[in-house]
Amino acid sequence: MRAQSKLRVLSQTDIVPEQRVRQYAHIEAGTYTGFCRAAQIYLDRGYGRWTCLLLFDLLRPESGDTIACDVPVWFALGSGKKASVSRRSKYFSAWILANGAPPRRDDRMSARVFVNRVAIVRVADTQGPSPYSKISAIIRWETGERARSYPMPTLND
């Protein structure tokens, strides 16, 4: 006796692929006030390199109301075994702007220097079939320390 198959034949209209694309906001290009609420450094296997992703919430300057959430900016951090930063990288320039000073010899250049801070940012659109907004430049930081990211040792230590 032959076992009955439990497979159901689907029509073409029943087959719907699952969307695995992150949805980002799409707003008019321009200059905005942005709150950096998250930073993540990860290995992007699609590009074969380390990446730093910052997510900004864009705010109305008058009221502080949110215009758009999760507007991204990416920085490339090399394709070696570990993330790395060169003096010519965009991350290096952005980190110095956020930190208020160049890194000391022992600084690790953590992405934490960006988080929970307000900046004036320039927003642009991506190209492609499904455009979205991204941060094209961090113009200046409005909040946060204007000194080094790690406290200097005192003479009494």
In percent, the amount of the chain with pLDDT more than 70 equals: 81
Mean pLDDT computed over 60-67: 86
User: Residue 93's pLDDT band (boundaries 50, 70, 90)?
Assistant: very high
Element (H, E) at 42: strand 30-44
For all residues of the chain together, what is the average pLDDT? 84
pLDDT of residue 144: 75
Does domain 23-141 fall under CATH 1.10.287? My reply is no
Question: For residue 41, how many C-alpha atoms fall within 13 Å in the half-sphere facing its CB?
Answer: 18
Q: Does 120 have pLDDT greater than 90? A: yes
- Identity at 33, one-letter amino acid code: T
Domain ranges of the chain: 23-141
Chain centroid offset of residue 104 CA: 24
d(CA 94, CA 74): 11
48-to-22, 37, 44, 117, 142 alpha-carbon distances in Å: 19, 26, 6, 30, 34
User: Residue 107's pLDDT band (boundaries 50, 70, 90)?
Assistant: confident
Mean pLDDT computed over 103-125: 92
pLDDT of residue 5: 56
Q: Does 115 have pLDDT greater than 80? A: yes
Q: Does 25 have pLDDT greater than 90? A: no
